[in-house]
Chain A
Amino acid sequence: MPPFVPILGAAIALPLLPLNLRRLVCVGAPLLALGLVVNAGDGSAYTREFLGQSITLLRVDPLSRIFAMVFALAATAANLYGWHRTRTAEQVAALLYAGGGMAVVLAGDLLTALVAWEVMAVASAVLVFDRRSARAVAAGQRYLLVHLAAGSLFLLGVVGLLSGGQGIEFGALADLGWPAWAILASLCINAAVPPLHAWLPDAYPESTVSGSVFLSTFTTKAAVYCLARGFAGSDVLIPLGAVMAVYGVVFATLEDNMRRLLSYHIVSQVGYMVCGIGVGSALALNGTVAHAVCHILYKALLFMAVGAVVYRSQRERLSELGGLYRSMPLTLGLYMVGALSISGAPLFNGFVSKSLVVSGAALEHHGAAVFLLTLASVGTFLSVGLKLPYFAWAAQAAENDTGETSEPPPHMLMAMGLLAALCVFIGVRPGALYAWLPWQPVSYDAFTSYHVFEMLLIMATGALAFWQLRGLLTPHRGETLDLDQLYRRPSNWLADRFSVSLDELADRLAARFARLRDATVRWVRDPTRLPDAAEAERPAFDENRARPPVATPITWILTTITILVALLLLDR
């Protein structure tokens, strides 16, 4: 049985079950899927012919297995964390999202991956909508539109491959011409590569506290899997990844909203993975996969800990928090495990995965990438390891703080404890992770005195610099304008120029119906007066109204030509 079937099946059955059983099923189904993945042998299964193409629902190999395993594990922990949820829609969406993610990484062909991806897009949007605030609904709409656009690009690439007779097996894609570029663009949107990343820090902080744990896990990492599968060794990904690693930490430094700060660090950490894929050596690719696994574990833990603060205090912003160490010391401890992991501290999992990527880039002499990735490491410790815990837990409480917070419920602590234990276990015993990596054997020793001291030096001096700069880094309430302004402002202009709002359309239709009604009434009263009445109602000739603006026909002509050219290209 494909490992995602229990999860998707549970999602379908969930609305029929009582609340407590739903909760059990939410935790049990991903756990069952984990068992199925671990025990699945290498190879393909469930291959069918569809529209003359071979569709493979299940392909298990070392690369897909490790991603499916960590997806199932993270879904189990996230559902345990979200035990308190009562709304069926959120539970169903969470399971569909997790099942869709597993189906993407286990797909043997691009069409199956695309369908699974669309399931993910819709289900994840529901997780944003489900918070039901005005901001969440608006962010959810933007999120959905961006992901539907990304899905359309993916579809364009798949259709291009089909029309070129190249088949749709999901393997190396980089050399397959323009369809590969369309798919790469789609994956870059989903991996949140700047300047196509703004959907992520826009939507993730607006979700429910358990929803954001799911969101931090699947979409970007499924994109990383697809990039590793299809575009390993593509040079263009090296600068993109290195720049996004630094971009994320710079914007995180500015953030006041805790979950938005962590969202920018998803951009940054995925940058390491994208860079590793671009380097393309076995060491760098193993580093990418290892970092994706570790990232899922510590990022989910960080979102859980911060979500616990939001859940208890109903506050999202660092400027509104402080002094939580008194009421939430356990959460602080668990958060710090995640923070030290993402910072790459020795004996935590980020140390053993991040150094694989950086060493992979160094061995291939990508000096600029090594520099930027190391700088990103500094910024990660600054924001996640120092700034966030200091201003939320350690600094003086905000003036309006009522102090009415406490540790989160036991199920949240258990989920965080599980992930924290895994972060430490992998950090202490990296061999347990390296044994599952796709490119064997992995003969890499992370615990050389040089690597250990490199990180200790960065952290010790970074902490000192933070202490000296803590006044400057004090968060203030506000919003940060991101690169999406570059395309949102012109889009507004285009929308004003070329579209008619629904309200305006309704007003015009209502006016026409009113005129028709009045004319009908007059005609019924006195049919002989029709010509006069019609003459009286006819508006004076207006040259501008009678002739539409030249932009209108040109737009129609250009649109028609574009569609024709596209059809011709696709028909080649």
Chain B
Amino acid sequence: MKDVSRILWTVAAIVVVGGAIFGRNPHPHVWWEAIPAYGAIFGYAGTYALALFAKKLLAPRIRRE
């Protein structure tokens, strides 16, 4: 399990660095597209936000086990 975690951290770090260097949007149409490697924020925070919203907030109200 620790190996998987370590691999995922490593891959994420490499992609973030690569995205910050090579993945800049030359013509941003919305403000957050100008943030370097903003996809990482979307991916990480978005996954947390969706999972917590669905499982902690919605599930107790609309899920019947």
Contact = CB atoms under 8 A, between A and B. Distances in A.
Interface of A: 249-251, 253-254, 362-363, 365, 367, 370-371, 374-375, 378-379, 382, 449-450, 452-469, 472-473, 476-482
Contacts of A456: 15, 18-19, 23, 39
B50 A254 contact: no
Given A362-B29, A450-B25, A480-B62, A472 B55 contact: yes
Interface in B33-49: 33, 37-40, 42-44, 46-49
Given A459-B43, A481-B62, A450 B12 contact: no
Which residue, of B4, B15, B30, B50, has the highest number of chain A Cβ atoms within 10 A?
A: B50
Contacts of B52: 472
The binding surface of chain A is classed by DSSP as helix
A159 B30 CA distance: 44
A464 B12 contact: yes
A365 B63 contact: no
Interface string B1-28: 0001100110110011011001111100
Given A365-B29, A464-B9, A378 B46 contact: yes
Given A371-B30, A453-B19, A467-B5, A250 B54 contact: yes
A384 to B, nearest CB: 13
A378 B29 contact: no
A468 B63 CA distance: 23
Given A379-B50, A453-B37, A460-B16, 16 more contacts: A250-B54, A254-B62, A365-B29, A374-B42, A375-B46, A450-B23, A453-B22, A456-B23, A457-B37, A459-B43, A462-B46, A463-B8, A465-B47, A472-B51, A476-B65, A480-B62
Given A382-B50, A460-B43, A465-B43, A453 B15 contact: yes
Given A382-B51, A464-B12, A254 B40 contact: no
A449 B8 CA distance: 22
Contacts of B15: 453, 456-457, 460-461
B53 A250 contact: yes
B54 A478 contact: no
Given A453-B23, A455-B39, A458-B42, A378 B65 contact: no
Interface residues of B, number: 44
Contact of B30 (A370, A460, A477): A370
A465 B39 CA distance: 13
Contact of A450 (B24, B30, B59): B24
Contact of B43 (A365, A371, A378, A450): A378
B51 A462 contact: no
Interface centre among A250, A459, A460, A462 (most CB of B within 10 A): A460
Contacts of B31: 367
B26 A461 contact: no
A478 B64 contact: yes
B63 A480 contact: yes
Contact of B8 (A367, A454, A467, A478): A467
Nearest to B22: A449
Contacts of A463: 8, 11-12
B10 to A, nearest CB: 10
9 contacts: A251-B54, A253-B54, A254-B59, A379-B47, A450-B25, A456-B19, A456-B23, A472-B51, A481-B62
Contacts of A466: 47
A459 B48 CA distance: 13
Interface centre among B8, B30, B33, B51 (most CB of A within 10 A): B51
Nearest to A383: B50
B13 to A, nearest CB: 9
Nearest to A477: B65
Among B8, B18, B39, B52: residue with most chain A CB under 10 A:
B39
B64 A454 contact: no
Contacts of B59: 254
B39 A453 contact: yes
For A374, A453, A467, A480, the residue with the greatest tally of chain B CB atoms inside 10 Å of its CB is A453
B30 A457 contact: no
A468 B8 CA distance: 10
Given A457-B37, A479-B64, A382 B47 contact: yes
Given A450-B24, A458-B42, A464-B12, A375 B54 contact: no
Nearest to A362: B29
Contacts of A379: 46-47, 50
B65 to A, nearest CB: 4
B58 A250 contact: yes
**Which among B4, B47, B53 has the greatest number of chain A C-beta atoms within 10 A?**
B47
A548 B11 CA distance: 75
